[in-house]
């Protein structure tokens, strides 16, 4: 039972509590949005690292068993040619190149139907740079640089590979 001199206190408590409740809700929303944005940045950078490292591992593995490597044109594309001797005495060539498809530059193997990169889920990862530098005596430096387009953040790897198979270029 409310006494006569206590009337209006419930209304006053509600008026005081409402802004505090709204402040708490606004803080929760702000923290949630900031957390989602931070998660996206971390996930996008992980996707970028994964794409560049996977491409580098594939190329280094292919080059380490090669008889010869060279940079050159195949069709309209400029890229890395990796030559192997087959068991039957023949020769096979693997070709890695960059190509723009759907406004994103990715790395491809042999044709534009077989991408090496571009398998990302959230971020748009683009391979900005791919080159081969000959250091001499069968030693080559492979350089790959990728970028997350939404964040303008880049990640690059450079490694040296020795190509010493039969008929290796000197």
Q: How far apart are CA 9 and CA 117, in angstroms?
A: 66
What are the structural domain ranges in the chain?
A: 9-162
The pTM of the full predicted model, rounded to 2 decimals, is: 0.77
Tokens of 73: 């044109």
Predicted confidence (pLDDT) per residue in 112-169, tens digit: 888 898 887 788 899 999 999 999 888 999 999 999 988 989 999 999 999 976 544 4
Neighbours of 154 (CB within 10 A): 14
Predicted confidence (pLDDT) per residue in 28-71, tens digit: 999 999 999 999 999 999 999 999 999 999 999 999 989 889 99
For the residues of 85-116, what is the DSSP string, one character each?
E-TTS-EEEEEEEEEEETTEEEEEESEEEEES
């Amino acid at each position: 039972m409310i006494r006569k001199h206590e009337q209006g206190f419930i209304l006053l408590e509600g008026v005081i509590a409402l802004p505090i409740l709204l402040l708490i809700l606004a803080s929760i929303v702000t923290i949630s949005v900031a957390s989602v944005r931070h998660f996206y940045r971390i996930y996008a950078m992980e996707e970028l690292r994964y794409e560049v490292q996977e491409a580098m591992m594939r190329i280094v593995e292919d080059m380490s068993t090669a008889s010869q490597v060279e940079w050159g044109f195949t069709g309209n594309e400029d890229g890395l040619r990796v030559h192997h001797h087959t068991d039957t005495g023949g020769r096979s060539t693997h070709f890695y190149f960059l190509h723009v498809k759907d406004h994103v530059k990715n790395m491809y193997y042999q044709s534009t139907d077989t991408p090496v990169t571009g398998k990302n889920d959230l971020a748009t990862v683009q391979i900005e740079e791919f080159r081969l530098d000959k250091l001499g005596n069968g030693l080559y430096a492979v350089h790959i640089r990728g970028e997350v387009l939404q964040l303008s953040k880049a990640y690059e790897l450079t490694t040296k590979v020795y190509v010493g198979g039969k008929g290796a270029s000197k």
